[in-house]
């Protein structure tokens, strides 16, 4: 890999992460003078011309999406026979890294995921691989759905039969796990599964293989959210379990409908960015006790005027005895890749030992 | 404004401790990674490939059993997938023996055997 791509337009700065399918680099767009993330297809997949073409084709479809809750695809091309996608760089962490969250924190993020997915569905694109690792959360709690189109391209490879998907199969809709036709309803199920895990710390089903998962999805029962996390309000549990219905016909009719159910369950505004802008300062505080059904709009107006800090100060002085939000621990760094497979194995071993405890 | 917002009476919140991988999960996976590295150092790519696949299966089993905390799952699965994809087991090419040449080869071996018996 050269240090630049596209005839010097993108200057690679460092590796952000890697997976079985691709390596993601942080790069600087010398032309537009901004940071971008570049996903370069793994070498062993670049040899497959069908997959290569499909990868670029799906990336181009994804580049048509433009929404604040979707990672923007800027460009796609090939360098040294390896296809790459240039995307918006989202500084923050994945939902997987955030782990279990209180419902007050989880639902506003889910609302944003619903908004991003709805936008894609309206444009005729189904994500097919909604999982915590594909939901990027910026430091200001804006969530962006990443990797539209990648899963569809991957379906042509054996990756769908082996490790990569098995590791994240917990989020697959029953019809998807069984290889049936996938529609937007599959993304609704997957988001329900993600939300279930974020709220309870557990996946809907524990399984050891895809056939076992299918069997559980056919006849096994999902432990209700509140049995595992009683602090979750009943209407939130109902919305999550609705999304996890086995039959797509019994799920919310769209990602927007799931968003409406979640918003109604928590009395949050359905406009996700409005929620986003004020969630952080209010986290762990008494926003629910503010008077009136339009309290969120009232706070938003106050925020726009720059007086949120005063409001919070007054709330605190007024007897809010809930503890302040605990800062999140630093995100876990990925193991260093290594220049050779032997280095990579040693680095992985060192990484495992460093994080053991 | 800053003072009002920050005038709470409680102690300054400290960052939550970083999550940890249970030693019972991390130690055997680390040992397996070491075996992969050792096999590669010995030039035995095929053994390394087999061990890397075992590592991948063990990683997935641990993740699916809920034994790997969420912040580690993607990194761990990605790293093992990547390792498997990077190790190529190339077996030495077998001598190609076909058609007419096969007959010649058999004849040559028979003659050699005959000579050996003679000796």
Examine the pLDDT at B4 and tell me if it is beyond 60: no
Helix residue ranges, H only, chain A: 43-46, 49-62, 95-98, 103-122, 150-154, 163-168, 174-177, 184-200, 210-219, 225-228, 234-243, 255-266, 272-282, 295-304, 308-317, 341-355
| Ranges A172-181, A227-236, B4-13, B44-53: which has the least confidence | B4-13
Q: Write out chain A residues lying below 8 Å of B77, CB-based.
A: 19, 163-164, 167-168
More reliable by pLDDT, B88 or A290: B88
State pLDDT tens for residues A219-253. 778 889 999 999 999 999 999 999 999 889 899 99
If chain A, 357 residues long, is cut into consecutive pieces of 10 residues, what is the mean pLDDT of each piece?
80 81 87 91 76 77 87 88 89 90 95 95 87 92 85 49 54 84 91 96 83 77 90 93 91 94 79 37 26 34 37 34 49 82 92 89
**Are B79 and A334 inside 8 Å of each other by CB?**
yes
For residue A160, list its beta bridge partners. Answer: none
Q: What is the pLDDT of residue A112?
A: 96
For the record, the structure tokens of A68 come out as: 């604040």
A295-304 contacts, C-beta under 8 A, 24 or more apart: A296/A268, A296/A269, A297/A269, A300/A274, A303/A277, A303/A278
Count, residues in chain A = 357
Q: What is the pLDDT of residue B75?
A: 83
Q: Tokens 């919140």 correspond to what residue? A: B13
Question: Is the confidence metric ipTM above 0.90 for this complex?
Answer: no
Query: H-helix or E-strand containing B25?
Result: helix B23-41
Q: Write out chain B residues lying below 8 Å of A96, CB-based.
A: 70-71, 73-74
Q: What is the pLDDT of residue A6?
A: 85
Give the distance from residue B97's alpha carbon to the nearest chain A alpha carbon, in angstroms: 30
Q: Write out chain B residues lying below 8 Å of A327, CB-based.
A: 13-16
Residue of A nearest to B48 (CA): A342
The superfamily CATH assigns to domain A100-266 is: Transferase(Phosphotransferase) domain 1 (1.10.510.10)
Residue of A nearest to B68 (CA): A356
Q: Write out chain A residues lying below 8 Å of B5, CB-based.
A: 309-310, 312-313, 316
* C-alpha pair distances (Å), A48 with each of A5, A51, A53, A103, B63: 21, 5, 9, 44, 29
**Are B83 and A345 inside 8 Å of each other by CB?**
yes
Closest CA to A192 of A142, A246, A230: A246
The pLDDT-based confidence of B107 (bands split at 50, 70, 90) is low
Residue of A nearest to B5 (CA): A313
For residue A78, report the phi and psi dihedrals to the nearest 5 degrees.
-135, 140
**Are A206 and B64 inside 8 Å of each other by CB?**
yes
The dihedral through the CA atoms of A345, A347, A348, A353 has a sign that is: positive
Residues 50-109, chain B, touching A (beta carbon < 8 A):
52, 56-57, 59-61, 63-66, 69-87
Closest CA to A88 of A56, A110, A107, A66: A66
Q: Write out chain B residues lying below 8 Å of A133, CB-based.
A: 73-74
Residue of B nearest to A324 (CA): B13
Q: What is the pLDDT of residue B106?
A: 53
Examine the pLDDT at B117 and tell me if it is beyond 70: no
Q: What is the pLDDT of residue A106?
A: 96
- d(CA A12, CA A20) in angstroms, rounded, equals 20
Q: Write out chain A residues lying below 8 Å of B61, CB-based.
A: 208
Q: What is the pLDDT of residue B16?
A: 63
Alpha-carbon dihedral A336, A337, A338, A342, rounded to 10 degrees: 110
Q: Which pTM does this prediction carry? A: 0.57
Spell out the domain ranges in chain A: 4-88, 100-266
- d(CA A41, CA A25) in angstroms, rounded, equals 11
- Out of A96, A337, A346, closest to residue B71 by CB: A96
**Are A342 and B37 inside 8 Å of each other by CB?**
yes
Give the distance from residue A181's alpha carbon to the nearest chain B alpha carbon, in angstroms: 25
- d(CA A242, CA B28) in angstroms, rounded, equals 40
Residues 13-52, chain B, touching A (beta carbon < 8 A):
13-23, 26-27, 29-31, 33-34, 36-37, 40-41, 48, 52
Q: Could you say which of 3.40.228.10, 3.30.200.20, 3.30.360.10, 3.20.20.70 is the CATH number of the domain covering A4-88? A: 3.30.200.20
What is the average pLDDT across B14-34?
84
Q: Which residues of A are catalytic?
A: 129
**Are A42 and B82 inside 8 Å of each other by CB?**
yes
Residue of B nearest to A322 (CA): B10
Q: What is the pLDDT of residue B11?
A: 42
Q: Write out chain B residues lying below 8 Å of A94, CB-based.
A: 74
State pLDDT tens for residues A9-53. 999 998 887 766 778 889 999 989 899 999 888 777 777 777 777
- d(CA A230, CA A213) in angstroms, rounded, equals 26
What is the average pLDDT across B19-46?
91
**Are A167 and B60 inside 8 Å of each other by CB?**
yes
**Are B16 and A96 inside 8 Å of each other by CB?**
no
For the record, the structure tokens of A267 come out as: 């009395």
**Are B34 and A323 inside 8 Å of each other by CB?**
no
């Amino acid at each position: 890999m050269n240090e630049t791509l596209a005839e010097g337009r993108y200057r690679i700065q460092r590796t952000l992460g890697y997976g079985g399918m691709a390596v993601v680099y942080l790069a600087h767009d010398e032309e537009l003078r901004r940071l971008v993330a570049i996903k370069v297809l793994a070498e062993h997949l670049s040899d497959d011309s069908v997959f290569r073409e499909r990868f670029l084709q799906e990336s181009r479809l994804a580049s048509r999406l433009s929404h604040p809750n979707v990672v923007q695809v800027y460009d796609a091309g090939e360098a040294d026979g390896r296809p790459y996608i240039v995307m918006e760089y989202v500084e923050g962490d994945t939902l997987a890294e955030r782990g279990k969250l209180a419902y007050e924190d989880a639902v506003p993020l889910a609302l944003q995921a619903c908004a991003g997915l709805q936008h894609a569905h309206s444009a005729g694109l189904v994500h097919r691989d909604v999982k915590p690792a594909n939901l990027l959360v910026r430091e200001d709690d804006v969530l962006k759905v990443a990797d539209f189109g990648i899963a569809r391209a991957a379906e042509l490879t054996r990756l769908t039969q082996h490790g990569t998907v098995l590791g994240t199969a917990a989020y697959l809709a029953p019809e998807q796990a069984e290889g049936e036709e996938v529609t937007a309803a599959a993304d609704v199920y997957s988001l329900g599964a993600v939300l279930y895990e974020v709220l309870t710390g557990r996946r809907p089903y524990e399984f050891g293989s895809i056939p076992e998962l299918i069997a559980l999805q056919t006849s096994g029962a999902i432990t209700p959210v509140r049995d595992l996390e009683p602090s979750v309000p009943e209407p939130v549990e109902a919305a999550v379990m609705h999304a996890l219905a086995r039959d797509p016909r019994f799920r919310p009719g769209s990602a927007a409908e799931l968003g409406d159910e979640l918003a109604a369950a928590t009395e949050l505004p359905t406009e996700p960015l409005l929620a986003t802008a004020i969630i952080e300062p209010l986290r762990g505080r008494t926003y629910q006790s503010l008077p009136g059904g339009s309290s969120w709009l009232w706070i938003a107006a106050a925020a726009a005027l720059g007086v949120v800090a005063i409001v919070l100060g007054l709330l605190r002085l007024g007897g809010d005895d809930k503890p302040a939000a605990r800062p999140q621990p630093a995100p876990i760094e990925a193991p260093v890749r290594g220049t050779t497979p032997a280095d990579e194995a040693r680095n992985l071993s060192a990484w495992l030992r460093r994080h053991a405890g | 404004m800053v003072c009002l917002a920050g005038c709470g009476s409680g102690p300054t919140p400290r960052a939550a401790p970083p999550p940890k991988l249970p030693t019972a999960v991390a130690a055997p996976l680390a040992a397996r990674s070491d075996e992969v590295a050792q096999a590669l150092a010995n030039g035995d790519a095929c053994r390394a490939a087999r061990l890397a696949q075992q590592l991948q299966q063990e990683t997935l089993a641990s993740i699916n059993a809920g034994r790997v905390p969420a912040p580690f799952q993607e990194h761990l699965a990605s790293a093992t997938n990547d390792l498997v994809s990077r190790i190529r087991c190339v077996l030495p090419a077998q001598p190609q023996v076909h058609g007419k040449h096969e007959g010649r080869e058999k004849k040559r071996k028979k003659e050699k055997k005959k000579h050996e018996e003679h000796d």
